[in-house]
Structure 1
């Protein structure tokens, strides 16, 4: 299967630069993958397509201020260090710009209270660094770090909490699980009152989610792994709901990847923590996910491949072309899609 099979034309002006004024007032495209129907709603209408006994599964990760701007200790040259994930202690996998000058042993300073030393290269072109500081890491990072908005967003974010979901809890992501940005606490309460179960799992979004595909044959692409966690009580409730015939509807591609990488062949979900590098593309047989809430994704990305695996490639691309024609807003701050 070729990379060009997942391409589509997107006018640049449809890339959303700012979030919708009200989270749940973004538009919602509803796809029925069984009969090919496409409907157009607003996100608060999502309740119309849910029923008692369904389970919505959210990723409760929280974006950290992952972009640090520092200077080389020896030359004073400017350096950007982008945190991907903690490996152990104060050691992190990071991306460094400019990367060619990032040598093992180099020391980078981020003001008087924080420095790091480059320890080794990684197999994806990044680095492993160790940080040195006095004080509380989270407080220092909050003071010195910047919220890492995607490169296609050029507008400054007035309220940094708009790049967090309202249920964000577990610190660790380099990017937001953007499908969840459409939910308000009020909407979630109304959905719960309908008899729909709300469950929370964790995947810390890193390079695996947004790393571009460079291989023309997509099967040659290797995903970078990301940390996930599903606790025992959550797994038991999801299994019980599924046994009673309820649909498991994943909010976002990170929730899909967590569920599908953990579930057994017969769709039983265990309590589990670890790293997942699952790459889902057409031909994949879903084990546990019955529905998806997602945003509109970049051409040729692993995310549009995942949605194509669920809804079918031709149907997905046809829906994307309709979204372009109807002037939907795309990507992180854009509109949403529900596929059942």
Structure 2
């Protein structure tokens, strides 16, 4: 097995630069997991492929306004800070006080936090240099400041640790005053409604990227599915930017899988057990839901028979490749993925590499819209 086995030629003009005009009116390629047989449908037709007693499990995480554009204090140089994840433990202990802006009150405890971040320009925002970036709100007032205080542990792409402070009532309020919803790097000039990069069922803001397979669902479609007797439950996986990384190593087994945090509530565990006991299928909405559910499988549970167990913000670096066993998920709603990515490997593991590559070739020939804002694929 080589990383090049999961490569394909992706025409740039097929990379969707904006969402579908109507979420559930996008195209959907339906593929039989075993035979590789393909059908071309519309996404809302997914109801025709689901039966009463089936269970959809979606990642309900919401994308943070994680892209912060500001100016370096003292020089005014344009700077960008991208929030990756809030840190806990030793890295979250207080650092030296951030130099305050004269005339502004000192932030309280609920107005400070430690985050792992990416910055630009990196050479001008080095840890230990006293570098502080200020971000202004719509009225021109400094709403949020970020002091670059340390290198992130195990940094591979120049990740840093920043201490965020605000004089707003809360950091959350400040982030919404100055932050922007980040889009994948291959979406170049989208200037439309940022809410269209959120799922309609999203809740807690905790991700740097959207679980995009869920973008195709509408409240009306979810209600129709429920009326048919198809259940709906959720998990939460905090999606990181590494989800867009390609695998650089020629041997995919040499690739170090990134770590993300996930939650599988007991309510979802109970619904999965009930679904399987009654002969129904567990249908994961997106690869992040797959990783959550399969990470929650405990092979030692149930006297060694194995069972899915509830998890509360546990860490996972699960890497699913051809040859991996799926214990929980029976069908998958997904999008079309970046060549040479771990997501290409995951969907190939769920079916076969040959089936997936044939389906992608069909999608390209039929001019499907690709990647995050693109069309859907249902592997059943």
Query: TM-score by structure 2 length?
Result: 0.86
Q: Give the number of the structure whose alpha-carbon radius of gyration is greater.
A: 2
Q: Secondary structure at the match of 2:334?
A: strand
Q: Are 2:34 and 1:6 aligned?
A: no
4+ residue runs over 6 A deviation: none
Pairing partner for 2:350 from 310, 318, 328: 310
Q: Are 2:170 and 1:133 aligned?
A: no
Counterpart of 2:110 in structure 1 is none
Query: TM-score by structure 1 length?
Result: 0.96
Provide the rounded CA distance (Å) in 2 between the counterparts of 1:284 and 1:6.
Answer: 16
Counterpart of 1:233 in structure 2 is 267
| Correspondences of 1:81-230 after superposition (within 5 Å) | 81-88=81-88, 90-105=113-128, 106-111=131-136, 112-122=142-152, 123=154, 124-125=156-157, 126-135=159-168, 136-230=170-264
Question: Unpaired runs of 5+ in structure 1?
Answer: none
Query: Which piece of structure 1 moves more, 313-322 or 117-126?
Result: 117-126
Query: Which piece of structure 1 moves more, 75-84 or 327-336?
Result: 75-84
Q: CA deviation at 1:152?
A: 1.2
Counterpart of 2:318 in structure 1 is 278
Question: Unpaired runs of 5+ in structure 2?
Answer: 93-112, 137-141, 300-304
| Correspondences of 1:242-281 after superposition (within 5 Å) | 242-265=276-299, 266=305, 268-273=307-312, 274-281=314-321
Provide the rounded CA distance (Å) in 1 between the counterparts of 2:191 and 2:346.
Answer: 29
Contact 2:335 2:375 in 1 (8 A): yes
Alignment CA distance shift 1:267-1:155 (3 Å): farther
TM-superposition CA deviations, 1:236-279 (whole Å, max 9, x none) = 22222122221111000100011111112356221102111111
Counterpart of 2:72 in structure 1 is 72
Counterpart of 2:98 in structure 1 is none
Contact 2:80 2:120 in 1 (8 A): yes
What is the total number of aligned residue pairs between the two structures?
Answer: 340
Contact 2:3 2:252 in 1 (8 A): yes
Contact 2:244 2:338 in 1 (8 A): no
Q: Secondary structure at the match of 1:115?
A: strand
Provide the rounded CA distance (Å) in 2 between the counterparts of 1:150 and 1:231.
Answer: 29
